[in-house]
Amino acid sequence: MRVLCFADTRFPIERANGVQTFQTCHALARRGHDVTLAVRTDTAKPPRDPFNFYGLAAEPRLHVRTLPAPGPPKARRVAYLAGALRLATSAPTATVVFTRDLGLAAWLLQWPKSRRPRVVYESHGISAAVAREMPVLLGKPELLPSASKLRRLERREERVWKHASAYVGITHALVGDLRSLFGEREHVFVAPDGASPAGLLPGPAADRFIAGYAGHLYPWKGVDVFVRSLAHAPGVHGLIVGGHPGEADLERVMRLAGELGLRDRLTITGLVAPTEVRRAVAPATVLVLPNPASTISERYTSPLKLFEYLTMGRAIVASDLTSVREVVEDGRTALLVPPGDERALGAALGRLRDNPAMATSLGQAALALAAAYSWDARASRIEAALEAALAS
């Protein structure tokens, strides 16, 4: 099968969306499909090789194609859409377009059915709900969208839901919400994110009990809750793998650690290459996913770090959210605590510190679960959607 995947972003990119997109395309190519990933040019000089950047072997069936998109953001977007349209409409008949770009999908689906390509859309959230919530999570109410923009997003969402050849959601909760809003449709699939096997990693530190977190330091990721939880967990050391030196979040977290008197119990590595993240967090005995409660976290999140944690064989303490419960079970493959509750998170860390056998058991159960969430397993779920689109 020929698959044309669109991602309107500079590439490669350090953020999770780049990892998810490239790993998914790579896994589809490994399964025998001819995959073209259309992106914008890397801004690094010289441009970086995506295979090396993401630590993946060269795959002859995966082709990375850059679409020229110069100028300021609006001009780049228009140029990318024009290039995407040319590529999609000139592709061989038996080609499926696969994208998580709602605007592009909606644009392609407004063309007459006889002229438009088969489109499989991958949803990571209901756009209007995300647009309403993100400014609040970021503490930037001035970015709240207008009523007209929300209506425009809702129209796009409905068009793609109703007219895409097949539809992929990252959580069952998200798909349920879409059905409630727009009704039933055929060819709907759920494909959570995934992770690669961790390979041989060093064991946890022998001289300290370390709770680790890997990822961005945005407040809405819950890293502040994690830092505060350490104040309620004496004897537990914290390890944060992440922190972009050019962003204010690193300074905020370091300041919080200082205010709480935790500088001697918290290590922050700063930005780490994607291929080195798991090795950097490997000294941890316990891994933490502290997402606070929000519509996005509760229903529209399939966090890469959770699946990467599974592959490491460490005990996991995570926020008790619907999206997380779709993957792990409290007391068997993870400990779940009320989201945003720093005391409960600290108590869970202390519980595992005092019960090494429980920590080991949870880690082993998590590792046994990891195979169900490999990138190949994800690609097989998406493959079913692509086949349904091709047959439609």
pLDDT digits (tens, 9 = 90+) for 209-256: 999 999 989 888 999 999 999 999 999 999 999 988 877 899 999 999
Confidence of residue 16 (pLDDT cuts 50, 70, 90): confident
> Residue 75 and residue 105: Cα distance in Å, rounded?
19
Mean pLDDT of 312-328: 97
Residue 243 lies in a domain: yes
Neighbours of 207 (CB within 10 A): 6
Give the model's pLDDT for residue 66. Answer: 96
Confidence of residue 143 (pLDDT cuts 50, 70, 90): confident
Residue 199 lies in a domain: no
Same domain (yes/no): 354, 243 = yes
Residues with Cβ < 8 Å from 99, sequence gap 6 or more?
5, 6, 7, 105, 119, 120, 121, 122
Same domain (yes/no): 9, 101 = yes
Residue 350 lies in a domain: yes
Mean pLDDT of 76-99: 93
> Residue 314 and residue 45: Cα distance in Å, rounded?
38
Same domain (yes/no): 272, 328 = yes
Same domain (yes/no): 164, 95 = yes
Q: Name the 3-class secondary structure at 377.
A: helix
Cα first-last separation, the chain: 14
Same domain (yes/no): 382, 291 = no
> Residue 316 and residue 323: Cα distance in Å, rounded?
15
Residue 14 lies in a domain: yes
Same domain (yes/no): 128, 242 = no
Residue 202 lies in a domain: no
For the chain, the domain total comes to 2
**261, pLDDT greater than 90:** yes
Residue 332 structural domain: 209-373
Residue 203 lies in a domain: no
Residue 93 lies in a domain: yes
- pTM of model > 0.85: yes
Same domain (yes/no): 245, 363 = yes
Residue 125 lies in a domain: yes
> Residue 226 and residue 212: Cα distance in Å, rounded?
9
Same domain (yes/no): 214, 138 = no
Looking at residue 255, which CATH number applies to its domain?
Answer: 3.40.50.2000
**4, pLDDT greater than 80:** yes
Pair of tokens at residue 320:
């008790």
The residue among 44, 45, 53, 47 whose CA lies nearest residue 19 is 53
